[in-house]
Structure 1
Amino acid sequence: MSVISSTKNLEALSFTLVAEFDAGVERVWQLWEDPRQLERWWGPPTWPATFDRFEFQPGGKAGYYMTGPEGEKAGGWWRFTTIQAPNKLEFDDGFADENGEPVDTLGITHATVALEESGGRTRMTIVSTFESEDQMEQMVQMGMEEGMKEAVGQIDAILAEHANA
């Protein structure tokens, strides 16, 4: 598996996931900027994502839902705050209702994604920052850490397809 580490830092109200891939930075960046590729790994394998809105520009929004094993749907939204291709991406992240409208139930997290060349591979660091300790604990209890590991763990197979194509 490509995930090297995942760290919760209660003092910083953050969760950091680090992964490395056998592909160049530009190729790994495509997994974020192309919603069809993003759908193939965002969300754990049993909860695949479908992006129905994707405005990949600073201030742009993305809307998606993940479909569970019983057909249940969980909505989410992003608001892109920083895009510096191919090395840095930042966005606010929250839950959405069945119409894709933001809901405040669990607040907003802020994600920072950094991609850097590392010995012929690409190191991806995702830092999620929370509004409060309560919010962080709720997200961890919901399975965020395991879900992120499973989601990122799907990336190697996608990269391998393109390497062999």
Structure 2
Amino acid sequence: MSKHLAFDFSVNKENKTITVKREFAASLPLVWDAYTKSEILDQWWAPKPWKARTKTMDFREGGRWHYAMVGPEGEQHWAAADYSGIQDQKKFIALDTFTDEAGTLKTGPESKWEVTFTSEGAVTLVEVHITFPDLSDLESHIKMGFKEGFTMALGNLDELLPTLKK
């Protein structure tokens, strides 16, 4: 990551939120595609050596991204993002939950993601605002290594973006 690109990760336990602000040296349409097209998400979403593997992707309001995080030993952790709002190349809102391979919700921490995209010329700012229903859900995410894992995944995207065409 360039030293000139912004990155901020903050936790607000009082409001049960995590906010991540990250700039990318790429156009807004390219960064939008990286967050909304499974063939690109699968290339960067998981922290190495893990891989993301999409089972289904239906990026529309009322649609779902169902995917697995696949570990180096072949272990799979399934999750889904259920999209409740989309403004093309501006914002999307999704409920993130753990599932099984069939897509059935499992108990565990869930979170609402509001992801906004802002063009700053050759740089795109992505702001991820994650809200948890309970403080214990937020704390579970932190204990699972969310900050480290998401930071690594964003680094993967940094590496991937220059190889993509738009």
TM over 0.5: yes
Is the 1:66–1:74 contact (alpha carbons within 8 Å) kept by the matching residues of 2?
Answer: yes
**Which structure 1 residue ranges, 5 or more long, are not aligned?**
none
Compute the TM-score of the two structures, normalised by the length of structure 1: 0.93
The percent identity for this pair of structures is: 29
For the residues of structure 1 that align with 2:60 and 2:106, how far apart are their CA atoms?
23
Of 118, 122, 125, which aligns to 2:127?
125
How far residue 63 of structure 1 moved from its aligned partner, in angstroms, is: 0.6
- 1:97-130 residue CA offsets vs partner (Å, 9 max, x unmatched): 2332111232x20001111012531011111111
Paired residue for 1:84?
87
Of 82, 103, 106, which aligns to 2:106?
103
Paired residue for 2:11?
8
Q: Secondary structure at the match of 2:33?
A: helix
For the residues of structure 2 that align with 1:119 and 1:33, how far apart are their CA atoms?
20
Of 111, 114, 131, which aligns to 1:112?
114
Paired residue for 1:142?
144
Instruction: Give the superposed CA RMSD.
Output: 1.5
Tell me which stretches of 4 or more aligned residues in structure 1 moved more than 4 Å: none
For the residues of structure 1 that align with 2:144 and 2:158, how far apart are their CA atoms?
25
Compute the TM-score of the two structures, normalised by the length of structure 2: 0.92
Of 20, 29, 36, which aligns to 1:26?
29
